[in-house]
């Protein structure tokens, strides 16, 4: 559906392999959301609470050879007090877990609609919700790729790929926001869920879907140079 017909991309395959090791893809999004919220307090998750979460969901939160970037990945999510922001863990958990796009979209919306009013301003959706989805999909998660993961790993290429995605962050966020703005500045949970269920076949409730979206935009805007560059498909 992009402007260039292309094959699979090696950097993307490596990222998906690294994401898979976290063991979230085997979990249902509703369960992931429920357990993370259960072991949190005042919007924060401590290291002890993260251990409880990982125990209940059987998550991989420590390095597991050859995936030696997991400790670093979680470390970068911690604040100066050593705690994790509940929103970050929920966004990552829902992006990587299993579930229908409409279910995942509703859960993502509710992370930022703290009082569950069913309404949020468009600016909050753009600057917080959509921003987090892009940053974690295209910047945080690619850092899971380990130099020992495979013989063809080139971390500079992974970083360059991530940079290409982030370059189109504002363009793609604005594109989604235009579809959400059917009622002006008020974005309801119903509207958000419907847009995320239908736009791009519901794939923007996953990190793979966001990377595909941003990379397709990058390719389209650089098509004269990148005619033969591979695109993204989800590895099995």
Q: What residue spans define the domains of the chain?
A: 10-221
Calculate the average pLDDT of the chain. Answer: 92
**Among 115-124, 131-140, 147-156, whose mean pLDDT is lowest?**
147-156
The lowest-confidence range among 27-41, 149-163, 188-202 is 149-163
Helices (H), ranges, the chain: 10-21, 29-38, 47-57, 70-77, 86-96, 101-112, 122-124, 131-135, 155-167, 169-180, 189-198, 207-221
Q: Which of 118, 165, 117, 114 is nearest to 143 (CA)?
A: 165
Distance of CA 216 to CAs 161, 168, 219, 222, Å?
A: 12, 10, 5, 10
How do residues 5-16 score in pLDDT, each as one tens digit?
334 688 999 999
Q: How confident is the model at residue 194 (pLDDT cuts 50, 70, 90)?
A: very high
Query: Is 177 in contact with 107 (CB distance < 8 Å)?
Result: no
Residue among 10, 46, 227, 15 nearest 141 (CA): 15
pTM: 0.92
Burial group, residue 28, by CB count within 10 angstroms (0-12, 13-18, 19+): middle
């Amino acid at each position: 559906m992009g402007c260039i017909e292309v094959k699979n991309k090696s950097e993307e395959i490596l990222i998906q392999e690294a994401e898979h090791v976290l063991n979230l893809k085997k979990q249902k999004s509703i369960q992931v959301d429920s357990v993370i919220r259960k072991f949190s307090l005042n919007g924060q998750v401590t290291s002890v609470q993260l251990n409880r979460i990982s125990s209940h969901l059987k998550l991989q939160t420590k390095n597991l050879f050859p995936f030696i970037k997991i400790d670093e990945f979680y470390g970068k999510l911690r604040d100066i007090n050593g705690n994790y922001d509940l929103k970050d863990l929920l966004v990552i958990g829902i992006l990587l877990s299993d579930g229908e796009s409409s279910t995942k979209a509703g859960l993502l919306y509710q992370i930022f609609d703290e009082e569950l009013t069913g309404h949020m301003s468009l600016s909050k959706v753009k600057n917080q919700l959509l921003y987090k989805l892009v940053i974690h999909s295209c910047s945080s998660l690619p850092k899971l790729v380990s130099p020992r993961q495979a013989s063809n790993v080139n971390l500079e290429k992974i970083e360059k790929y991530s940079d290409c995605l982030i370059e189109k962050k504002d363009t793609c966020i604005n594109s989604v926001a235009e579809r959400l703005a059917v009622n002006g500045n008020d974005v309801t949970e119903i509207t958000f869920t419907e847009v995320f269920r239908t736009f791009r076949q519901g794939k923007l409730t996953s990190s793979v879907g966001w990377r595909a979206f941003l990379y397709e935009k990058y390719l389209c805007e650089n098509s004269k140079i990148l005619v033969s560059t591979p695109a993204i498909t989800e590895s099995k």
